[in-house]
Structure 1
Amino acid sequence: MNFGPTPLDEARGAILAHTVRLTGKVLKKGTVLDEAAIATLREAGKRDVITARLESGDVPEDEAADRLADALMAPLIARSRAATGRVNLFAESPGLFTLDAALIERINAVDESITIATLPNHSVVDTKEMLATIKIIPFAVPGRVLAVVEAIARGRKVGQALSVQPFQPLSVGLVLTELPGIKESVMEGAVEATETRIRALLGTMLPVERVRHEEGPVADALTRLKRAGAELLLIAGASAVVDRRDIGPAAIVRAGGTIEHFGMPVDPGNLICLGRVGDVPALVLPGCARSPKLNGFDWVLARIFAGRKVTARDVMGMGVGGLLKEIEQRPLPRAEAPRTPPLTSAPRRARTVCALVLAAGRSRRMAPLNKLLVPDSKGVPMILRVVDNVLASHASPVIVVTGHERERIEEALAGRPVLFAHAEGYAEGLSASLKAGLAAVPAEAEGIMVCLGDMPLVTAPMLDRLMSAFDPDESRAIVQPTFRGKQGNPMLWSREFLPDMLAITGDIGARHLAAKHADRLVEVEMASDAVLRDFDTTESLKGLPDMAARR
């Protein structure tokens, strides 16, 4: 193909390379110039025009796109007509879109003139959804190049280069296990999320089996569901599965099944277990399956509904692209890992979190000194260190709760952009300080981070890591730091717990509430023991590191 300026005397049959706007008329890019078009250009004073002129053996762009589309056609795939060198391919049925990635890459590597762009492999698609677009870049393709591409497209040995595997209307049985203290709303949420997924894949749900979180009852429920016609068995545990010998997998084995694979290189979704009871797939769901957002369970479920047997090798091959969401610090499992709530994949907005710094105590173990006001080697009071760390985090506003020696605390913090809340009944204990701070929490705050005034080693990045893990919509409504599995402070609470926290009395905080809401708790493992270290004696203050330069 020749490309460039062409005298009008030689332009008949050439392809106009760029749109030409004339008085009262427009000749569009791609127009094949005939005598009338050339006459119009002459009348406008044009002597030449930029064109593409085909040579012997060249195939025009639309014909080339047509021929490649024909070579790639498969059942349940429709195509558009060729226009401007482009043909689009569409799904004719809801299903799982799969492709031969190596073959598509080979075609794209033949010549820059021919391109195919597709959806990612294993995409869930709906009817009429675009799967791929074929685009011929220039106005024509050398015939020999197109012949090579057609040979690659038609010469595949197995399957199709592109295919849509329609979803099958499977009947699904769900076993929901229960533990004391799990809120009914959490159970209902797990069922709702599962039903939504199943309906989207054209499946139906059998009546849900709700049983104790024990191997025997779960195995019996699986057996009942299989007899009722379940073509897919799911177990949603009150505690997330952490081992192939845990309650869910053990129940599958007890029901006469086998475990094929535990875990997957997809996050969120790591803690999934694949098994089978006879010829019926059986899955123990990861905790993140309680959330409607994309996770590894969705990938497995779509393949099963598309009629594919998901093997251990399939799961182990999902790692590339399997990082579905990135947050600054992912919660890490510990001995109580079954209680770790889900993480999700979709982008999430930052949650508004305010911080309470509890500074009302009487420092009885250090009396007559007030430990919060004891200066360090640089003359900085401990409460000032703590408040500066909190101010350097993303928490806002920062509320300092005062009580004992109120005036001195406020004086030490003079000039800092904090709010003060005074606990009149501070002598009654920690709960009075907590309630005074909670009463000052602004209505727009979605979370409250309760910081202790005697923990100056907890830095701003540590606090930000806690906040990055906070998402009540995904059951991460209570966030607690840990160090080597030991729970520490500060704790971050969703405002949904305000009524419970305001009901606390005596010299205790809110920590005991976390045990009652284990399904809403997530733990964030820290690299430092700062989250365990408070300073409430003269001796402990002597070991306080110089933190003036740290944040």
Structure 2
Amino acid sequence: MKKIKTKEAVGHVLCHDITQIIKGVKKGVAFKKGHIVTEEDIPVLLSIGKENLYIWEKREGMLHENEAAKILYNICKNDYMCPSEIKEGKIELIAEKDGVLKVDIERLCKVNSLGEMMIATRHNNFPVKKGDKLAGTRIIPLVIEQEKMDKAVEVAGDKPLIKIMPFKHKKVGIVTTGSEVFYGRIKDTFGPVIREKLAEYDTEVLGQKILNDNPNEITQAIKDFINEGAELIICTGGMSVDPDDTTPSAIKNTGAKIVSYGAPVLPGAMFLLSYYKNTIPILGLPGCVMYAKRTIFDLVLPRVMADDKITLEDLASLGHGGLCLSCDVCSFPNCGFGK
């Protein structure tokens, strides 16, 4: 810290807040710690009574918080995101495209464990929209050693800590099973729910086939949609363990690889995830998707729409945070479900 005359302070960095008091009008911070003094600031500072200022004295090997924040931003930045203005030594990353946010949690923790610096992000694997905040970066003190920031770059590695996987356009086929719907004994209420959720994304529904519980017919319906160009198949009904619920076996008989039949999520335990020829997702949705506000489907669909391959380990990890509290007023995704 160094004391200099205010008239000579242009370009220097303030080491403390400066308060301005105008009787009956204003009392508050006029210039915050870390502010870089400009030519226009000089008359204001003098009017406050500041003939002298305490400024940060630039030393070899030391970085101001704004410089350090830029380094942390560069550690994070990737395609489809841009920086905010630097404010009080903080830079935020803003989404420029809708998609799924991916965070390398392990490397993020390593950087944050270095001390005197921080990167805070949104949750991994959650959908974001253009304009959303993705992360914020800053150092804790006003200045920091260049050596420490070099260490942060080393720990972070060559790849950005976060990325956005943009949503893709997808053609979708819906296969609904159940004799009660097929014979018209009850009205299909599954289809409208699925279409409503798909409408949140860039999708084209090729159609909906309503079948009884014949597994061969279900298998053929799935294959027919794939032959029509479907890039996502959603099967509803027949997903329990009752003997006449044959949808899981019908999906398997297409030749699709079953990732998991079952997920540690409530609502949504009887969910099935598979991939046909390792590329086309075939989802088996449990009955809860029809009536519950949010389910396993809401956690999986964004990743499917971004072509983010979901593994058994990914599904297993949903057990931590996989209990929906069925709140009277649903605030998803701004809640703990799926996090």
Shorter-normalised TM-score: what interval? Answer: 0.7 to 0.9
Assess if the C-alpha contact under 8 Å between 1:273 and 1:285 holds in 2.
Answer: yes
Report matched runs for 1:478-497 at 5 Å.
none
Report matched runs for 1:206-221 at 5 Å.
206-221=206-221
Change beyond 3 A, Cα 1:8–1:255: closer
Give, in angstroms, the shift of residue 176 of structure 1: 0.8
Instruction: State the secondary structure of the residue aligned to 1:208.
Output: strand
Change beyond 3 A, Cα 1:175–1:142: same
Matched, 1:315 2:315: yes
Q: Which residue of 2 aligns with 1:271?
A: 270
C-alpha distance in 2 between matches for 1:107 and 1:63: 17
1:138-163: per-residue Cα shift (whole Å, max 9, x none)? 3322222222112223x24xx54111
Change beyond 3 A, Cα 1:21–1:303: same
Give, in angstroms, the shift of residue 65 of structure 1: 1.4
Assess if the C-alpha contact under 8 Å between 2:69 and 2:139 holds in 1.
Answer: yes
Change beyond 3 A, Cα 1:303–1:163: same
C-alpha distance in 1 between matches for 2:153 and 2:292: 42
Q: How many residues align?
A: 321
Give, in angstroms, the shift of residue 103 of structure 1: 1.0
Matched, 1:141 2:147: no
Give, in angstroms, the shift of residue 17 of structure 1: 1.6
Tell me the TM-score normalised to structure 1 length.
0.52
1:525-546: per-residue Cα shift (whole Å, max 9, x none)? xxxxxxxxxxxxxxxxxxxxxx
Instruction: Please say which structure displays the higher CA radius of gyration.
Output: 1
Q: Which residue of 1 aligns with 2:284?
A: 284
Assess if the C-alpha contact under 8 Å between 1:286 and 1:297 holds in 2.
Answer: no
Q: Which residue of 2 aligns with 1:65?
A: 69
Assess if the C-alpha contact under 8 Å between 2:102 and 2:163 holds in 1.
Answer: yes
C-alpha distance in 1 between matches for 2:179 and 2:143: 68
| Unaligned runs of at least 5 residues, structure 2 | 330-339
Matched, 1:150 2:153: yes
What amino acid sits opposite 2:318 in the alignment? Answer: M
Matched, 1:90 2:94: yes
Identical counterparts, % of pairs: 26
What amino acid sits opposite 2:273 in the alignment? Answer: L
Q: Which residue of 1 aligns with 2:31?
A: 28
Give, in angstroms, the shift of residue 9 of structure 1: 5.7
Report matched runs for 1:147-186 at 5 Å.
147-153=150-156, 155-156=157-158, 160-180=160-180
What amino acid sits opposite 2:274 in the alignment? Answer: G
Greater helix proportion: 1
C-alpha distance in 2 between matches for 1:67 and 1:186: 61
What amino acid sits opposite 1:235 in the alignment? Answer: C
Change beyond 3 A, Cα 1:14–1:135: closer
Instruction: State the secondary structure of the residue aligned to 2:78.
Output: coil
| Unaligned runs of at least 5 residues, structure 1 | 327-344, 350-551
Instruction: State the secondary structure of the residue aligned to 2:189.
Output: helix
Matched, 1:248 2:247: yes
Q: Which residue of 1 aligns with 2:121?
A: 118
Change beyond 3 A, Cα 1:44–1:278: closer
What amino acid sits opposite 1:298 in the alignment? Answer: D
Instruction: State the secondary structure of the residue aligned to 2:110.
Output: helix
What amino acid sits opposite 1:274 in the alignment? Answer: L
Larger RCO of the pair (alpha carbons < 8 Å, separation 6+): 2
Change beyond 3 A, Cα 1:183–1:110: farther
Give, in angstroms, the shift of residue 101 of structure 1: 0.4
What amino acid sits opposite 1:145 in the alignment? Answer: K
Give, in angstroms, the shift of residue 308 of structure 1: 2.5
Report matched runs for 1:226-375 at 5 Å.
226-237=226-237, 239-242=238-241, 246-279=245-278, 280-291=280-291, 293-323=293-323, 325-326=324-325, 345=326, 347-348=327-328
Instruction: State the secondary structure of the residue aligned to 1:180.
Output: helix
Give, in angstroms, the shift of residue 301 of structure 1: 2.2
C-alpha distance in 2 between matches for 1:259 and 1:251: 11
Change beyond 3 A, Cα 1:285–1:87: same
Assess if the C-alpha contact under 8 Å between 1:7 and 1:47 holds in 2.
Answer: no
C-alpha distance in 2 between matches for 1:297 and 1:257: 19
C-alpha distance in 1 between matches for 2:38 and 2:230: 67
Change beyond 3 A, Cα 1:180–1:51: same
C-alpha distance in 2 between matches for 1:166 and 1:293: 25
Greater strand proportion: 2
C-alpha distance in 1 between matches for 2:106 and 2:53: 41
Give, in angstroms, the shift of residue 23 of structure 1: 4.1
1:474-514: per-residue Cα shift (whole Å, max 9, x none)? xxxxxxxxxxxxxxxxxxxxxxxxxxxxxxxxxxxxxxxxx
1:244-277: per-residue Cα shift (whole Å, max 9, x none)? 9941111123334343311111222111112334
Tell me the TM-score normalised to structure 2 length.
0.81
What amino acid sits opposite 2:256 in the alignment? Answer: G
Instruction: State the secondary structure of the residue aligned to 2:100.
Output: strand
Give, in angstroms, the shift of residue 36 of structure 1: 8.7
C-alpha distance in 2 between matches for 1:234 and 1:278: 16
Give, in angstroms, the shift of residue 284 of structure 1: 1.1
